[in-house]
Structure 1
């Protein structure tokens, strides 16, 4: 599975991982913790659904939330940096989005998802427009986030297929 591949790479590269999740609601952490021995590389997962928790726990600035909203590349960049700083992990990913079936707007329709990766040597964000049910949007978001970790650990560019990119 992707989480097993990621876990082995994190072990091999001696990297630790922390996750900050909003729209995925803990699914990334759940998948990672399904792998026996994950405590060797997995530091923790913060599910920060509300803006108050995003700012109070992860340090996302009020200005970012007001100017760009919780579903933005700016917000997930700060979420990823915040969880990495607070946990001491060498690598982190963060997700925020609108999984539906409602809650979308013309600018950010259902399926809009932002993902970020933060590490000492780089920070990377991307906005996607996924289609499908709530469960599918959560699952594909978790898969893309895990693939970003895999790519980072392998030294591959994080710029992936534009298939889902908005």
Structure 2
């Protein structure tokens, strides 16, 4: 039964997540750490749906303080507004589960923590939807001084599986941004 879920995810998320899924098991936290150290870039996180999973991966390698500035778990909308500086009007207009909020989280955390890269996640892990967003809808974003990238994810699985997949997708987005796809081919 798990295999159909994986196939569905690959189809819905097109080449981005297919590429990231193909790298899972090949990419380690240490390899991401090495890329960040080599590029001499720092990263900060603003996590809603993933609740600190991205930060846990980034801080797992020895010497991670060289590149991982820190993060905020901004699960409640009030924390997104008060601690990350997301305009309440943006949340009211687009909803907490939206590309606009993911982008603002990534951009604001990068600036707030004075990091080179900001990574953010927002979404619905379930079991209940956050209308209009269904369970499994998520957005991730990566912001640098030069650009901001975002991805919309439509996932299936348990609450825990969805959260892990979103964290993996965010790390995959970072991996690709840092040029890691050139290493694994």
**Rg larger in structure:** 2
Q: 1:123 aligned to 133, 142, 148, which one?
A: 148
Aligned to 1:2: 28
SS at match of 1:24: coil
| Contact residue 71 and residue 113 of structure 1 kept, 8 A | yes
CA root-mean-square deviation = 1.3
Give the number of equivalent residue pairs.
Answer: 155
SS at match of 1:59: coil
Counterpart CA distance in 1 for 2:163 and 2:137 is 11
Counterpart CA distance in 2 for 1:117 and 1:155 is 15
1:71 maps onto 2:97 in alignment? yes
| Contact residue 2 and residue 143 of structure 1 kept, 8 A | no
Q: Under a length normalisation based on structure 2, what TM-score does the superposition of the two structures give?
A: 0.80
Q: How does 1:15-164 map to 2 (within 5 A)?
A: 15-105=41-131, 107-154=132-179
Aligned to 2:18: none
Aligned to 1:163: none
Q: Under a length normalisation based on structure 1, what TM-score does the superposition of the two structures give?
A: 0.89
Structure 2 residue runs of 5 or longer lacking an equivalent are 1-26
| Contact residue 35 and residue 180 of structure 2 kept, 8 A | no
| Structure 1 outlier segments of 4+, above 4 Å | none
Residue 18 of structure 1 and its aligned partner are, at CA, apart by 0.3
